[in-house]
Amino acid sequence: METEVTRTTTRTALGKAVDVHRPARSGRAPLPAVLFWHGIGADEREILRPVAKAAAAGGTVVFTPDWSAPEHLLDSLDFVRREAPRHGADPDRLVVAGWSAGAGAAVALATRPDLRLKAVIGIAGRYDLPARTTGAPPLTALPASTPVPVHLVHGTNDTAVDAAHSRALAATLTTHGWPVRLAEPPSDHAGVLFGAYDEGLGRIVPSTTEPARRGGEATTEAILMAAVGGEPAQGAPPLT
């Protein structure tokens, strides 16, 4: 039987909307918290809903905020750390994930030991550019930091952001002994969100095609592995 998931909407201190996805019946124990950022398109939290719902059904509380400027990212991080208990989530078991432009922003937070993150997840992102959260490129900044589990997902048919960017980060972190896992489903930039780009609407919409299914499942698996499952093996070759 499919786990029922509820979605409520609230707002951060800066007024950005946040959808909170959680199992309808999760018991009394707090669940792992997942903060999930969309890409560069302003206020597009709705494109994350299919993955957020699937991850919540697996036993997490997923927070998907709108954002349109770097300060909104850190504002949503403060929101989750402060408000997670009110939504049945544990801020001490926080995973930060991001897709596309949100990927580098999420992964870069592994350089912040004060955040005590359980893991970070980068989905279809670039890591050689300054992150919107830290100002430093994760590809060069992470190896000098204390290792945090890193999960990466990148579609092999992604023409918007080449999967080589995720492979380069995975290889670099592996060389430096970081726990890292790379999944490469046969999908494109939108497919890793259970989605497809609709030319007519000019936006990503949910899709039931096989590439979108496999891409979305890979992202959901990465979130659940990071939040409720085991860590990738330290220093092990990236998984594909």
User: C-alpha angle 23/26/28, rounded to 5°?
Assistant: 150
Tokens 């060389």 identify what position?
175
Stretch (H or E) spanning 163? none
Structure tokens given for 51? 């993955």
Contact 55, 229 (CB under 8 A): no
Domains and CATH numbers, the chain: 5-227 (3.40.50.1820)
The pLDDT profile of the chain, 240 residues, written as one tens digit per residue, is: 578 999 999 999 999 999 999 998 767 789 999 999 999 999 999 999 999 999 999 999 999 999 999 999 999 999 999 999 999 999 999 999 999 999 999 999 999 999 999 999 999 999 999 999 999 999 999 999 999 999 999 999 999 999 999 999 999 999 999 999 999 999 999 999 999 999 999 999 999 999 999 999 999 999 999 999 855 544 333 333
